[in-house]
Structure 1
Amino acid sequence: MSVPKRVPYPSLEHFDEQTRGSKFGHKMTRELYAYPSRSQKQRPKRELLGEDLWNGTAWVYRDEEHTQHSDLYLLVQRDAALVNFDLSMSYFASLDVGEFEAALEQVLAKGRSFKPVQSLKDWDGVEGAYVMVFDEYRQFYVGKADDIRKRIKQHWGTRKSFDRLVFGSKYDSIFPVDELRALDTTRIFAARSTNPYAVEQRAEKAADQRFCLNRMAGGSASPLTLMLTAINPRNRANGVASVTLSWEDYDRAWDGVVDVIAQSRSSCGSSLVDVLASLDMTVYSVERKDGSQFMWSRRDAIAGAAVRGELSVDEFAAFLEAMGETIIWPED
């Protein structure tokens, strides 16, 4: 489990803009997606969380002050992000090109003043709204900016915070637009406006959510809106084919994973990792007692066992490798 050496890609010109060389390339790849990081988007405050929640999330960090992510969190979070990546790619491939174009035209029509961008230099310092189009994935993103050129370059040059890659559950999280690279952006439309929030809001509201990467509604976001979005994030099914599982069967399936771990530790047969990797990993739609549903598989239960300390970090890493994943550690 070594740290891979990343060789910077050369700079290139795109939309008449010279992009900087990048260690993550100019097109998105699964190999370099969800590159782990120990830093976090926002450091938690103990006095706000309370002792129970603070202690309950201790596994996420490798220090008592909760400043850096632990090895286990890096494994669990990257696995969730890669599951979401695979589901998202399959979902994108299933979308109809004609329907995508119609959805894009509807968004552009709502903006009224959107124009095709040939050169980003023409939009230097321009306030307004923009639409980034990713034709390969049949997706678009609606944004606003005080400086359209600068903002789009930020999309290309930054990456989504590692702990924000999954927004909601890995089964229904909307793919993060900032993981798409410069060459993934095939078309750009922009509109000048002294009220970019209004233009963005109209355009995003008109978007067919099957084709839109916006995780939040357009327009100015109030603190209440941000809080409600965090509690109940916008999501989509990502085309997950699942089998319905009752709450009782879900309980039995989860307990079955726990029993497998316990029995493997007390026997001299197949290795624990091999046994876990051979389990049925079907994704189920579990129905709660109140009638609501959520997605689950035994892979989630195995991650849960690692969080509870029933599997070591090395054992969980070996399980992921047995499932075909390559373990990557950050450069620290």
Structure 2
Amino acid sequence: MTSQTNGVANEQSEHFGEKLRASKFGHKMTREMYAYPNRSQKQRPKREPLGEQLWEGTAWAYRDEEHTQNSDLYLLWQRDKALRNFDLSMDYFSSLDADDFETALEYVLARGRTFKPVESLPAFDGKAGAYIMVFDGYKQLYIGQSWDIRKRIKQHWGARKPFDRLIYGRSIYNSIFPMDELRALDTTRIYAARSTSPYAVEQRAEEAADQRFCLNRMTGGEPTPMAWMLSSLGPRSRSHGIVSTPLSYQDYERERDGVYEAIRLDRLSAEPRLATVLAQMNMGIHTVQRDTGDPFLWSRRDAIARAAKHGELSVPEFAAFLEAMGENVVWPAD
């Protein structure tokens, strides 16, 4: 039903009865096109509610006084975080068992009872209800609802997650992968349930989902102000099964300061080679145990990104470091 060349659907390809038109981002997700930088913010910050101190504290992320356009530094910093989360997510998906995923999916379908396989999306044009998008290649699913199922799924296929929302929560180490970055051909199965109460059907199905296999970043059901508040206070996360080595807080401080010292010494060197020096450091992930409080995950790459954020690395130096790490630095067309 779908013809492909190098993973990109041709102009006349069809998927679930829908024609897929040519797209610069292709119709299958790739790391190369993931986290494509964007100057715009999903929601522009407002100066008065933030206060002057916080407004000035975030100035590094913008290239204009009114904070309407992301700075070059923010583009590098945010894309680096997103790509690191991408790699952690791909490793996590690969570690999952396909049979366990199928069992978890069948449980959701059994709880929903009214979900049926979708062969042709046009049959759901203007139809209200809930839907389940399945991404077998990643052993993941997503549960949603809409008053027009066909329109909503096509929106998913054509959407990109806003650049500043690629990371959910505070850490790349537990951020749930953004499903809107998956493309049309990554969707291998669709189930839908027609209903005049789509929120209720979505909530019942989402509550039955095993979170290991679910890309929903928020709980299902009607998005009330209370639901939004609870989500912001305790965002969903996942462990990604990260392998890390323990590090005491004192050792963490020493290793972190060692990164800053390497930067300082390179400034004094007759032959600066900062990008190479930093890229040759061990970037393994550590679990840092605070003297009080919960442990957290950390890598020297976090310290390097922080140094760039605080102006201890220039934009060209940070870009050179990322290239030395094998990344392809991409700039948007201004």
TM-score higher than 0.5 here?
yes
| In 2: Cα distance, 1:83 partner to 1:284 partner | 15
1:173-252 aligned within 5 A: 173-252=175-254
Deviations 1:64-84 (A, max 9, x none): 100010000000100111111
| In 2: Cα distance, 1:74 partner to 1:239 partner | 28
> Equivalent residue for 1:38?
39
Higher mean displacement: 248-257 or 170-179: 248-257
| In 2: Cα distance, 1:241 partner to 1:52 partner | 38
| In 1: Cα distance, 2:268 partner to 2:220 partner | 55
| In 1: Cα distance, 2:247 partner to 2:230 partner | 29
> Equivalent residue for 1:3?
none
Indicate conservation of the 8 Å contact 1:9/1:24, yes or no.
Answer: no
> Equivalent residue for 2:113?
112
SS of structure 1 residue aligned to 2:19: strand
2:44 aligned with 1:50 = no
1:282 is aligned, of 281, 284, 291, to: 284
Call closer, same or farther: CA 1:11–1:85 in 2, change over 3 Å. farther
Q: Which amino acid aligns with 1:225?
A: A
| In 2: Cα distance, 1:269 partner to 1:241 partner | 36
1:271, distance to aligned residue in structure 2 (A): 0.8
| In 2: Cα distance, 1:237 partner to 1:272 partner | 33
Call closer, same or farther: CA 1:9–1:277 in 2, change over 3 Å. farther
> Equivalent residue for 2:138?
137
SS of structure 2 residue aligned to 1:241: coil
| In 2: Cα distance, 1:127 partner to 1:290 partner | 50
Call closer, same or farther: CA 1:303–1:11 in 2, change over 3 Å. farther
Deviations 1:217-260 (A, max 9, x none): 11112223323322331010112111121221111111111111
Indicate conservation of the 8 Å contact 1:8/1:23, yes or no.
Answer: no
> Equivalent residue for 1:156?
157
Deviations 1:166-195 (A, max 9, x none): 112111111100000000000000001111
Indicate conservation of the 8 Å contact 1:133/1:187, yes or no.
Answer: yes
SS of structure 2 residue aligned to 1:126: coil
1:95, distance to aligned residue in structure 2 (A): 0.6
Question: Greater relative contact order: 1 or 2 (C-alpha under 8 angstroms, separation 6 or more)?
Answer: 1
Call closer, same or farther: CA 1:265–1:8 in 2, change over 3 Å. farther
| In 1: Cα distance, 2:65 partner to 2:273 partner | 33
| In 1: Cα distance, 2:20 partner to 2:291 partner | 52
| In 2: Cα distance, 1:80 partner to 1:175 partner | 12
| Percent of pairs with identical residues | 67
| In 2: Cα distance, 1:275 partner to 1:82 partner | 21
| In 2: Cα distance, 1:249 partner to 1:64 partner | 39
2:75 aligned with 1:83 = no
Call closer, same or farther: CA 1:284–1:9 in 2, change over 3 Å. farther
SS of structure 2 residue aligned to 1:210: helix
> Equivalent residue for 2:303?
301
Q: Which amino acid aligns with 1:113?
A: T
1:101, distance to aligned residue in structure 2 (A): 0.2
1:268, distance to aligned residue in structure 2 (A): 2.2
| In 1: Cα distance, 2:224 partner to 2:290 partner | 32
| In 2: Cα distance, 1:144 partner to 1:293 partner | 37
SS of structure 1 residue aligned to 2:211: coil
Where structure 2 has 5 or more consecutive residues not aligned to the other structure, the ranges are: 1-7
Deviations 1:261-313 (A, max 9, x none): 11111122551111111111111112223331221101010011011111000
Deviations 1:62-113 (A, max 9, x none): 1010001000000010011111111111111111010000000011111110
1:11, distance to aligned residue in structure 2 (A): 4.7
| In 2: Cα distance, 1:8 partner to 1:316 partner | 35
> Equivalent residue for 2:5?
none
1:9, distance to aligned residue in structure 2 (A): 5.9
> Equivalent residue for 1:69?
70
| In 2: Cα distance, 1:286 partner to 1:222 partner | 37
| In 1: Cα distance, 2:12 partner to 2:62 partner | 36
Deviations 1:190-218 (A, max 9, x none): 00111111111110111111100000111
TM-score (norm 1): 0.95
Q: Which amino acid aligns with 1:111?
A: G
Aligned residues: 326
Q: Which amino acid aligns with 1:208?
A: D
1:8, distance to aligned residue in structure 2 (A): 9.8
Call closer, same or farther: CA 1:207–1:8 in 2, change over 3 Å. closer
Indicate conservation of the 8 Å contact 2:246/2:289, yes or no.
Answer: yes
Deviations 1:103-157 (A, max 9, x none): 0001111111000000001101000000000001000000000100000000001
Question: Following superposition, which runs of at least 4 residues in structure 1 exceed 6 angstroms of deviation?
Answer: none
